[in-house]
Structure 1
Amino acid sequence: MSCSHCEPSDNRGTVLVDSPTIVLVGNPNVGKSTLFNKLTGAHQTIRNAPGTTVDLSSGGWSGGGRELTLIDSPGTYSLLARSADEEVVTELLTGEIEGSKKPDLVVAVLDATALQRSLYLLGQVSKTGLPTVVAVTMTDVARAEGVTVDSTVLSKVLSVPVVDVDPRHGRGLEVLADTVVKALGTQPLLRGPGACNCAHGGQCCNDPVKDSDSLVDRMVEADDVFDWVEDVSAQVGAGSRRVETTFSDKVDRVLLNPVAGLAVLLGVLWALFQATTAVAAPVMEWAEGFVAGPVTDGALWLTGLVGLSGSWVESLLIDGVLAGIGVVLSFVPLMFIMFLALALLEDSGYLARAALLADRLMRAIGLDGRAVLPLIVGFGCNLPALAATKSLPNAAHRTVTALLVPLTSCAARLTVYILIAAAFFPDHAGTVVFGMYVGSVLLVIAGGLLLRLIFKDTSSADPLFLVLPSYQRPGVSTVLLIAGRRALAFLKGAGVTIVIMLTLMWCLMAIPVRGGHDIADVPVEDSLYAEIAESVSPVFAPAGFDDWHATAALMTGFVAKETVVAALAQSYQVDEPAENDYADAEGSDLGARLRADFDESSGGHGGAAAIAFLVFVLAYTPCAATLAEQKRVLGGKLTFAAFVAQLALAWLLAVAVFQIGSLF
C-alpha cells in the first residue's frame, strides 16, 4: 500500500534547540513515575492541568549531552478520553493544554509482564504522529514468568528505537538518554495500526493528525488496534508464557483471601503505627530539644545583643516563630518514617492488593469500586483525595465519596494521636493510634451505609478494573527519594501554616482582656485567646475535656490539624507553671500538664477524656483547605450541611466515648 501524504508532517512538533519537551506515557504501575524520578532527581515541579485537578509533573533532564524538559503524564490505559486523567494525556499529546506546546517526542513506557495491554495504548499513541522512543520495564520479572521480550525484534517491528530500562535500579538510563537525543534528530515514527509503507528514510508512518481531526474520533475508528497488538505480540514472542504458578500468584492466594488477606492488612497497618511510635519518638524529642535548647539560646543572645531582650519582639520570636519551627521539625522524622513505609508497600506491589481488599468493603455500601482509591489517598491527605473524586464517572458516587473523605484519618491527625497516646497511654501508644485508624474505617463504612439510603443509585456500582503489579523487591534509592520528597512537602506546607497560625495565636495571647497588663506581657489566662476558648469549653464538659487549652487547640485545628499540637505546646509553654502531682511523672512537661488538666476536667477519668478528645479530632471538620476543595466539588450548600453534620457527629461520639469510658 502506498500513500500520498507520507512526508513528515509539520504538525509533529519542532525540535527545540534549548529545551526539547519529552513526555512519558504509559499504563499505571509500569514504572513510569519511578523512571521520571530517576531521570529528573530533585529538579521537579508539579502543577495542575488547567481546569482540572490532575497533576502534571515536569522536570529538567540532563541526558545525552543536552538539557531536556521531561513531563510525567498520568497513567492511563487508553487515549479515549473517558476520565479526567485520560483527557489530560490526550490533550498533552495533541498540544491542547493551555500553556503547553505539542511535545517534541514521546517516550512510551511498556510493561514486559503485560506487553499486550501496554501495546494497546502504544497503538493509540501512534495515531498522534509524534516521534516515539519505547522504554521496556519489568523485563526481569517477565523472564521469571517465562516471557522474554527481545528489544531488537520489537524495535524492528515497531520501526522505532526500543530500550530496556530498570528505573528502580538505574539500569539502562544512559542508553535511554542517548537514544532520546538521537531520536530528536531522526524523528522516528511508530509503525502502528494501519501503517503505510513510505520511501522517506526507510521509515513507515501513520496518517498524522491534522488540525481538523479529532484524536478521539480516530481512536474509535481504529478497529484494527487489537489485531495489531496480537500481531506485534506474536512477532516478538510475547503472546504466550509458561503455564505455571508464579511467585505473585502463590502470595496472592493468601493476601487476596477475604479473611486471611484482611487480617494481614490490619497486621501491616498495626506494625506500621508501632514503628512510627517506637522509632520516631527519640528523634522527635531530639529535634524539639534542639530548637528549644541551642536555637532558642542563640535567639535570646541575639535579641539581647540588639537591645530587644524582654520585648514583645523577643516574645514573638521565641514563643511564636521558634515554637512553631520546633513543632514542625519534631514531626518531620515521624512523617518520613510513615512515607517511607508507604513507599515500600507501594513499590513492592502490596498497596494495589490493599486497594482490592478495601474494594470489597466499599461494595457493601454501594460505592463504585474506583471510590476506594480516593478514600485510600484520604489517609494521606484529604485535599488530593477530594480532587481525585472528580475522576469517578457517576455523579452520585462522586458526591458520596466526597462526603466520606473527611472521615478518613489524614496524616496531619497522626501527630495529635501520637502526642495524646504517648502522654496518657505510654505503654500502649501504638495500639491506641492503630485504634484511631480502625475507628476511621468504621466511620467511613457507617457513613457510607447511611448515605446509601439518601443516594439510592449508588448501589449500581460497576466492577472495578484494577491491574495488580507483580511483587518485586523495592528499590532503596527509589523509596528514599519518594519518602524524602513527601516529607519535604509536609515540611513546607505544614511548616508555613503552623508558623503563621502560631503568630496569630501569639497575637491573641498578647492582647490582655483583664488585669491591666501590657501587650505581650500578659498571663495566658488573662488574654483574648483564653477568653475565647473559655467561652466555648463548657460545650465539651459532657465529653470530659472542659478545659480551655484543649478547646483552643481544637479551634486552631480548623486551620490545619497539625496546629492542634502546636497550640497545646504554645499555650502550656507561656502559661505559668502549676504545681501538680505529675511533676515527677514519666514523660514530657506538656504530657504531664495535659494529664493534670484532663483529670481535673473529667473528675478523675483523664484516660476516658483523652480517648474522647482523640475521637473528636478524628471525626470533626477537616482543615480550611479541605473545606474549600469540598465546596468546589459539592457546592456551598452541601458543604455547609456536611460541615454542621460532622461537627455534631464528632461531639456526639466524643460524649458517648467519655460517658461509657468513665464507667470503668
Structure 2
Amino acid sequence: MLYDAAPAERPDRVIVVVDATAVARGLNLAFQLAELPCRLSIALTKLDVAQDQGLRVDADALARATGIPVVCVDGRRREGLERLRETVQVSLTEEPQVRREDASIDARFADLDAATKAAVHTESQPVTRSQRLDAVALHPVAGPLLFLAVMWLVFQITTTVAAPLQDGLEALVSGPISDAARHLLKAVGLHHPLVEGLIVDGLIGGVGMVLTFAPLMALMFLCLAVLEDSGYMARAAVVTDRLMRAIGLPGKAFIPIVVGFGCNVPAIAATRVLGSPRHRIMTSLLIPFTSCSARLVVFVMLAQTFFPAHAGSVVFALYVVSIALLVLVGLALRKTLWRAVPQDPLVIDLPTYQLPTVRLALSVMWTRLKGFLHTAGGIIVSTVVVIWLLMTIPVGAATSVDGGYTTPAPQESAYGAVSRTIAPVFAPAGFDSWSLAGPLVTGFVAKEALISTWSQTYAVKDVTDATPEEQAASSLSDRVRADFAAASGGHTNAAVWAYMLFLLAYTPCVATLAAQKREIGWRWTLFGFAVQLTTAWVLAVVVFQLLRLL
C-alpha cells in the first residue's frame, strides 16, 4: 500500500518495529518491504522482555544477516530514540536499493529463517511472570471471576468516580456560566426571554450536556487504554469467548457490553477494540438494551412510588430482563441478518504483561475523547435545542407572560401537542396520557430528564436529586400515581411495569445515537433505533395485556 501511491507521496524512510520476543514475525514484513525501492531501518524493541523469556537477540548479527540497519530502542523509557533518529537522517542521503526481485515465498522464508537463527539465541526456558499470571487469568474458574472483578472495577470507576465530576460540570454550566450569559445578554440589550432561552437553555444547556459526558468518556477510554497496554485485554477476550460465541460475537465484545450497564455512550465507543466491522455493528446494536445508570434514576423513583416494599427486587428484575433482551435480540440478529456468516475461531496474540505507560494511556484517552466531542457533540446540542423549541412554541392558550413574551404551559406548547399526538400509540400498553407519553420524548435526550419533565408538567418541585423515600412521599409521586391509574383504567401496576419495560428497551438517549452514528454510520443507527422502538412497544403491550388479566 505504501508504494501504490504516487512517487511524490511515498515515504522517504520506513521504520519496521520488530518485537524481540517474535523476531521472525517482524522480519517477514521487513523482507517484503526490502523487495521494494524503499529505505529501511529496524527498531528492535522489548529486549528486556525477551531476556526474561530466555532469549538473547544480537542486533549486530541481525543487521548483518538482513542488510538493514538495526537500532535497539525502548519506547517506554525513551532509550535509543536519538540513535534511531540519527540512523534515519544518514539513510536519507542514500539511494534506495532493491534487495531481491520477485522473491518467492519459499525464498523469503528461507532468508528469514537464516537471519533468525543467526541473531536469536535461546539460553534458557524459565517460567515467566506472564505464564504465572496466565495460570490465574486463563483458569476455567478463576479466570472468569477475575474478569468479573476487573469489569466491576471499571464499572465503579465510570459510574462512581465520574459522578462528582459530572455534577460539578453540570453545576458550573447551569450556575455561573448560565448566569454570566444572562448578565451579558442584559448588558448588550438582548435580555428577551426567547433569546435568553435559546442561548442559555438551548445552546449552553446542550454544550453542558456534552461536557457532562466528558469525564465519563475520559475515564472509560483511560480504563480501556490501561487494560490494553497491560496485556490483560487479550486474556479477557479468551475468557469470554465461549459465552459471547453463543450470540455470534467474540469474547472481546463482552467488555463494552458490561460497560453499557454504566453508560451506553462510552460502551459503544469501546467497541473499537473489536477487529471485525460485523462484530462492531452487532455489539453497538445490542448495547442499548443494557440498563444504563441514567435509567436507574427513573426505575428507582417508580419502584419506590408503586412498589415500596419490593423496590430493590423490582430494579433487580429489570436488570435481569435487560440481560435477557440482549441475548434474545443477539440470537435474532445472528439467525437473520448474519446467519450465513461463519464463526471464525479465536486467533489472538497474548502479549507479555507489562505496567501501563501513563503517557501512552493519556494520549490514547485524549485522542478518543476528542473524536467523541467533535462528532457526537454537534448532534447532542442540536437535539437539545430542538426539545427546547418544542417546549417554547405555543400552540394553545398561554398561562404566563414574561416581558411581553407569552410562555406556554407544557400542555399548550408544541411539546404538549407532540405528546398528545403520540399518546394514543401507547393505549394498548396502558399509558396513553399525554403527561406520561411526553416525558418519553424528553427522555430521548436524557433519561434523567423524565423526572424533571414530570415536575414541570405537574408544576411541582423537581425531586430528581431527592432520596427514594422523599421521591415516594412527594406530591409528584401522587400526581404520577393518579395519572397511571387514570390512563390504565385501574390496572396501575400493570401499566407501570409496561412503562418501565418500555424505558428499558427503547433508545437510551440522543448521545447513544450520536455514538452509534460515529461508530457504525447512520444506516445501522437508524436500523437499531427502529428495532429498539419496536421491541419496547411490543414488550410493553404484551406485559400490560398479560398483567391486567391477573
TM-score range, shorter chain: 0.7 to 0.9
Name which of 280, 288, 294 aligns with 1:416: 294
What corresponds to 2:172 in structure 1?
290
What corresponds to 1:335 in structure 2?
217
Deviation for aligned residue 1:356: 2.0
Task: Please tell me whether the aligned partners of residues 271 and 283 of structure 2 are also in contact (alpha carbons under 8 angstroms).
Answer: no
Match runs of 1:505-654 below 5 Å = 505-516=387-398, 521-537=407-423, 539-540=425-426, 551-552=437-438, 554-555=440-441, 563-565=445-447, 568=450, 571=453, 577-579=459-461, 582=463, 585-586=466-467, 602=484, 612=501, 614-617=503-506, 623=513, 626=516, 644-653=530-539
Which sections of structure 1, spanning at least 5 residues, go unmatched?
1-90, 190-204, 209-217, 393-397
Which sections of structure 2, spanning at least 5 residues, go unmatched?
261-265, 305-310, 486-491
User: Cα gap change, 1:424/1:656 in structure 2, threshold over 3 Å: closer, same or farther?
Assistant: same
Deviation for aligned residue 1:401: 7.3
Structure 1 window deviating more from structure 2 (140-149 vs 317-326): it is 140-149
Task: Please tell me whether the aligned partners of residues 289 and 325 of structure 2 are also in contact (alpha carbons under 8 angstroms).
Answer: no
User: Cα gap change, 1:455/1:417 in structure 2, threshold over 3 Å: closer, same or farther?
Assistant: closer
What corresponds to 2:150 in structure 1?
268
Task: Please tell me whether the aligned partners of residues 404 and 444 of structure 1 are also in contact (alpha carbons under 8 angstroms).
Answer: no
User: Cα gap change, 1:425/1:261 in structure 2, threshold over 3 Å: closer, same or farther?
Assistant: farther
Name which of 42, 50, 60 aligns with 1:152: 60
- Pair 1:206 & 2:67 matched: no
Q: Percent of aligned pairs with the same residue? A: 35
Partner amino acid for 1:623? Answer: L
Q: Distance in 2 between matches of 1:236 and 1:299?
A: 67
Task: Please tell me whether the aligned partners of residues 95 and 101 of structure 1 are also in contact (alpha carbons under 8 angstroms).
Answer: no
Match runs of 1:176-191 below 5 Å = 176-187=84-95
What corresponds to 1:225 in structure 2?
108
Q: Distance in 2 between matches of 1:120 and 1:492?
A: 39
Q: Distance in 2 between matches of 1:275 and 1:572?
A: 30
Whose relative contact order is higher, 1 or 2, with alpha carbons under 8 Å and at least 6 apart? 2
Task: Please tell me whether the aligned partners of residues 229 and 357 of structure 2 are also in contact (alpha carbons under 8 angstroms).
Answer: yes
Secondary structure at the aligned position of 1:521 is classed as: strand
Task: Please tell me whether the aligned partners of residues 615 and 654 of structure 1 are also in contact (alpha carbons under 8 angstroms).
Answer: no
Q: Distance in 1 between matches of 2:449 and 2:216?
A: 19
Secondary structure at the aligned position of 1:301 is classed as: helix
- CA RMSD in angstroms comes to 4.7
Name which of 233, 237, 242 aligns with 2:120: 237
Partner amino acid for 2:76? Answer: R
User: Cα gap change, 1:129/1:594 in structure 2, threshold over 3 Å: closer, same or farther?
Assistant: farther
Partner amino acid for 2:343? Answer: A
Q: Distance in 1 between matches of 2:300 and 2:64?
A: 63
What corresponds to 1:407 in structure 2?
286
Partner amino acid for 1:228? Answer: D
Scaled by the length of structure 1, the TM-score of the pair is 0.66
Match runs of 1:428-507 below 5 Å = 442-454=324-336, 458=340, 460-507=342-389
Partner amino acid for 1:235? Answer: A
Partner amino acid for 2:467? Answer: E
Partner amino acid for 2:63? Answer: S
Task: Please tell me whether the aligned partners of residues 509 and 520 of structure 1 are also in contact (alpha carbons under 8 angstroms).
Answer: no
Deviation for aligned residue 1:115: 1.8
Deviation for aligned residue 1:503: 1.7
Deviation for aligned residue 1:496: 1.8
Task: Please tell me whether the aligned partners of residues 55 and 123 of structure 2 are also in contact (alpha carbons under 8 angstroms).
Answer: yes
Q: Deviations over 1:360-403 (max 9, x none)?
A: 224334x4x7x5557766864658959978x57xxxxx4x8745
Partner amino acid for 2:285? Answer: P
- Pair 1:126 & 2:34 matched: yes
Deviation for aligned residue 1:246: 1.7
Secondary structure at the aligned position of 2:33 is classed as: helix
Scaled by the length of structure 2, the TM-score of the pair is 0.78
Q: Distance in 2 between matches of 1:660 and 1:142?
A: 64
Q: Distance in 1 between matches of 2:222 and 2:367?
A: 10
Deviation for aligned residue 1:513: 1.2
Q: Distance in 1 between matches of 2:157 and 2:548?
A: 30
Q: Deviations over 1:300-339 (max 9, x none)?
A: 1111112222331111111111111222222211222222
Q: Deviations over 1:267-324 (max 9, x none)?
A: 2222221222221222211111111111111111111112222331111111111111
Task: Please tell me whether the aligned partners of residues 134 and 161 of structure 1 are also in contact (alpha carbons under 8 angstroms).
Answer: yes
Secondary structure at the aligned position of 1:135 is classed as: strand
Partner amino acid for 2:415? Answer: Y
Partner amino acid for 1:535? Answer: T
